[in-house]
């Protein structure tokens, strides 16, 4: 991610809504991918048009993006929402803010990579997000169980995942090394872009060489995985244990790790780190820098008494899969 700076010179972060130095209001422009300070007297313009902040900024304080569609009151990111939590409850409003922060980081990465971000207003199977809770954390709702997942462009995230205690309980129960909100969004976006990018028989054939046959019974594979996951040994050639459940889940795991990689390298480059990279056309250089950067990240975390920031080992097969993903995004 870019290193943003206010017009007064103060460093800014992606989630900032106000400059801590000059106290001017801030907004992110998804067209220019930049943060701007503005005021009523000095608005931010797109061409000759002054832009306003998203309605979710004024109403709920959960967004800091400018509205770029003159026909909408919502920004590009919030305009993708299909279902949001019950905002009458303070805790759910806080969870929703966490969800929106993670979603906007995903959308930022997709825009940087020039991937299509089309909502359902223009595409019936376009990208949409549903944040729903179930009875495990809220007995007043009707849903018995809500699983985070994807179906025909709709990404559903269980609202309780926005609570770090609930999320850590789920991580420990499932035996995962890593579980974050942003990771959920990146993983599920992989399912969405599978159909967008792997759209020919030749690409499907290449996919099956690396990941396996995606036509294998998905429901049966997941049922077998969850019935046996406690005794299942992690195949070191796979990027995670969950990747072993089905070729489409392997794809989504690798896709998420690709987004982790390119965004973290871009951030490192923005802070003038030698191992950073904002030019990702050379995948071999990218993977080499990523390998070295993760060693540094993990060493820094250990120095602080924290768990590894990136607790994964990338096998030769996984590196081939990452190159495959890169080739789809940057076709030669």
pLDDT in tens, 8-63: 999 999 999 999 999 999 999 999 999 999 987 888 888 888 999 999 998 999 99
Distance CA 127, CA 119 (A): 5
Q: What is the mean pLDDT of residues 264-269?
A: 94
Distance CA 223, CA 228 (A): 9
Q: Is the pLDDT of residue 97 over 70?
A: yes
Which of the four pLDDT bands, split at 50, 70 and 90, describes residue 169? confident
Q: Is the pLDDT of residue 281 over 70?
A: no
Q: Please, where are the H alpha helices in the chain?
A: 55-60, 90-112, 164-174, 181-197, 201-211, 218-228, 247-270, 283-303, 316-329
Is residue 225 assigned to a domain?
A: no
Out of 47, 72, 97, pick the residue that ends a domain. Answer: 72
- Name which of 99-103, 136-140, 195-199 the model is least confident about: 136-140
Is residue 205 assigned to a domain?
A: no
25 and 79 within one domain: no
Q: What is the mean pLDDT of residues 296-314?
A: 95
Mean pLDDT highest for which of 39-43, 282-286, 320-324? 320-324
Distance CA 115, CA 81 (A): 18
The one-character DSSP state at 18 is: B
Q: What sign results for the dihedral spanned by CA atoms 71, 73, 75, 76?
A: negative
What local confidence, expressed as pLDDT, does residue 88 receive? 84
Q: Is the pLDDT of residue 225 over 90?
A: yes
Query: In this structure, are residues 151 and 194 in contact, taking their beta carbons and an 8 Å threshold?
Result: no
Query: In the predicted model, what is the mean pLDDT of the chain?
Result: 93
161 and 191 within one domain: yes
Q: Is the pLDDT of residue 276 over 80?
A: yes
Q: What angle do CA 88, 91, 94 make, to 5 degrees?
A: 100
Paired sense of beta strands 128-132 and 154-158, if any = parallel
**Structural domain span for residue 51:** 1-72
27 and 131 within one domain: no
87 and 165 within one domain: yes
Nearest to 45 by CA among 17, 68, 18: 68
CA distances from 57 to 2, 81, 131, 183 (A): 22, 15, 18, 24
Look at 150 and 170; give whichever has higher pLDDT.
150
- Name which of 4-18, 96-110, 266-280 the model is least confident about: 266-280
Is residue 216 assigned to a domain?
A: no
- Counting residues of the chain whose pLDDT is more than 90, the rounded percentage is 76
Q: What angle do CA 52, 56, 57 make, to 5 degrees?
A: 60
Q: Give the SS3 label for residue 147.
A: coil
Which of the four pLDDT bands, split at 50, 70 and 90, describes residue 210? very high
The one-character DSSP state at 6 is: -
Total number of domains in the chain:
3
Q: What is the mean pLDDT of residues 194-213?
A: 96
308 and 256 within one domain: yes
Is residue 210 assigned to a domain?
A: no
Paired sense of beta strands 128-132 and 81-83, if any = parallel
Residue 71: CB atoms within 10 Å: 6
241 and 308 within one domain: yes
Burial class (CB in 10 A: 0-12, 13-18, 19+), 293: buried
Q: What is the mean pLDDT of residues 130-155?
A: 92
Is residue 290 assigned to a domain?
A: yes
Out of 150, 173, 197, pick the residue that ends a domain. Answer: 197
Q: In residues, how long is the chain?
A: 332
189 and 79 within one domain: yes
304's CB contacts (< 8 A; 6+ apart) are none
């Amino acid at each position: 991610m870019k290193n943003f700076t206010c017009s007064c010179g103060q460093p800014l972060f992606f989630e900032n809504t106000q400059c801590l130095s000059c106290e001017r209001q801030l907004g992110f422009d998804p067209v220019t991918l930049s943060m701007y300070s503005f005021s009523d007297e000095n608005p931010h313009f797109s061409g000759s048009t002054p832009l306003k902040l998203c309605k979710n900024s004024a109403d709920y304080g959960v967004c800091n993006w400018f509205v770029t569609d003159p026909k909408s009151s919502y920004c590009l990111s919030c305009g993708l929402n299909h279902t949001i939590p019950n905002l009458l409850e303070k805790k759910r409003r806080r969870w929703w803010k966490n969800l929106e922060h993670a979603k906007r980081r995903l959308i930022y990465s997709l825009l940087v990579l020039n991937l299509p971000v089309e909502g359902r207003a223009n595409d019936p199977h376009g990208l949409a997000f549903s944040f729903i809770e179930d009875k495990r954390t809220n007995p007043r709702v009707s849903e018995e169980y809500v699983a985070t997942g994807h179906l025909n462009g709709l990404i559903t995230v269980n609202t309780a995942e926005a609570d770090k205690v609930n999320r850590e309980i789920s991580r420990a129960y499932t035996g995962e090394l890593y579980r974050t909100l942003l990771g959920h969004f990146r993983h599920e976006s992989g399912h969405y872009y599978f159909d967008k990018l792997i759209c020919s028989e030749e690409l499907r054939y290449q996919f099956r060489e690396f990941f396996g046959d995606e036509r294998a019974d998905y429901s049966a594979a997941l049922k077998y995985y969850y019935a046996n996951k406690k005794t299942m040994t992690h195949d070191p050639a796979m990027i995670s244990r969950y990747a072993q459940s089905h070729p489409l889940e392997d794809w989504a795991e690798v896709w998420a790790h690709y987004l982790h990689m390119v965004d973290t390298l871009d951030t490192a480059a923005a802070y003038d780190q030698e191992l950073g990279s904002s030019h990702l056309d050379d995948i071999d250089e990218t993977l080499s820098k990523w390998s070295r950067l993760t060693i540094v990240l993990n060493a820094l975390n250990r120095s602080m008494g924290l768990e590894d920031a990136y607790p994964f080992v990338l096998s030769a097969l996984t590196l081939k899969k990452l190159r495959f993903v890169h080739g789809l995004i940057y076709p030669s």
